[in-house]
Amino acid sequence: MINKIVQSVAAALAGVKDGSTVLIGGFGSVGQPDVLIEGLIEQGAGNLTAVLNNAGVGRVGVARLMELGRVRKIICSFPRSSDPVVFETLYREGRIELEIVPQGTLAERIRAAGAGVPAFYTATAAGTPLERGKETRDFDGKRYVMERALKGDVALIEAWEADRWGNLVYRGSGGNFNPVMAMGAELTIAQVQHVRELGALHPHMIGTPGVYVNRVVQVDRGGDWLRPELS
């Protein structure tokens, strides 16, 4: 019997190694694997490369992980946030490395890793400072930049519902980076609000097939959320 449901956050994060590249889903406050990030803080892995859209807010979650000195490098599109205090301090002191990637290129580099494509060309960033150090090439008279696939050792993602096969259903704008990160890592760990019986999730509603998911842990986000209006 296939059963990817694990019984604790600690079990979900078991075996994450020092030096891992960790893809972290979410956009703004929506779709963030906040409980898994807290779990990673507890778990202890360090020297991490964190891949996510923002560089952390306030002193919680990813910002806390950075403040504890566990993140060597951050790869993101938007290092500014409403309160990027931890990142900015570490960055100014030269204690964290930063790679800025345009948001769509970030998603596509991860998708490429998940789809077995080592590199691709995009017009995004052509002629800008972000093409520096990258191969460029003209196709049909237009300039493109070669971008390399970005693979995670681990992906931490969040979804609304799951079944024991690891099939995931997202809610609202909570998909965002989660489905692409699910396919772009060796070990994909999902936190979900609800676990349903196998067969209860409508096949058309499944945003990430369980093939991409290794472990699922149910967490109580504390909110009394309604069922998504479209399911």
Partner 1 sequence: MPFNRDQMARRLADDVPEGWCVNLGIGIPTMVANHVPAEREVIFQSENGVIGMGPAPSKENEDPWLINAGKQLITLAKGASFVGHADSFAMIRGGHIDLCVLGAFEVAENGDLANWATSENDTAPAVGGAMDLAAGAKQVWVLMEHTTKDGRPKLVERCGYPLTGLACVRRIYTNLGVIDVLPEKGFVVRDLAPGVTLDELRAKSGATLHTN
* 124 touching partner 1, by CB under 8 A: yes
Tell me if 128 contacts partner 1 by CB under 8 A.
yes
Cα atoms in the 13 Å half-sphere on the side-chain side of 32 = 18
In angstroms, give the least distance from the CB of 98 to partner 1.
6
Helix (H) or strand (E) holding 37: helix 34-43
Q: Please identify which residue in the block is written with the tokens 């003209």.
A: 138
76 vs 39: CA distance, rounded Å: 21
Residue 209 near partner 1 by CB under 8 A: no
Amino acid at 25: G
Residues, the chain: 231
- Which part of the chain contacts partner 1 (CB under 8 A), choosing from 9-17, 146-154, 173-181, 195-203? 173-181
192 is an interface residue for partner 1 by CB under 8 A: no
Shortest distance in whole angstroms from residue 133 CB to partner 1: 15
Q: Which of the residues 19 through 78 are near partner 1 (CB under 8 A)?
A: 27-30, 77-78
Q: How far is the C-alpha of 119 from the C-alpha of 142, rounded, in Å? A: 18
Q: How far apart are the first and last CA of the chain?
A: 27
47 CB-near residues (< 8 Å, 6+ apart): 18, 19, 70, 72
Structure tokens at 100: 């800025």
Record the tokens describing residue 168, joined without a space: 């995931």
Rank residues 43 and 88 by Cβ distance to partner 1 and give the closer one: 88
Stretch of 2-10, 11-19, 39-47, 116-124 contacting partner 1, by CB under 8 A: 116-124
Nearer to partner 1, 147 or 163 (CB): 147
Closest CB to partner 1 among 7 and 203?
A: 203
Interface with partner 1 (CB under 8 A) = 27-30, 77-80, 82, 87-88, 91, 98, 100-105, 107-108, 110-111, 122-130, 143, 170-180, 207, 223, 225, 228
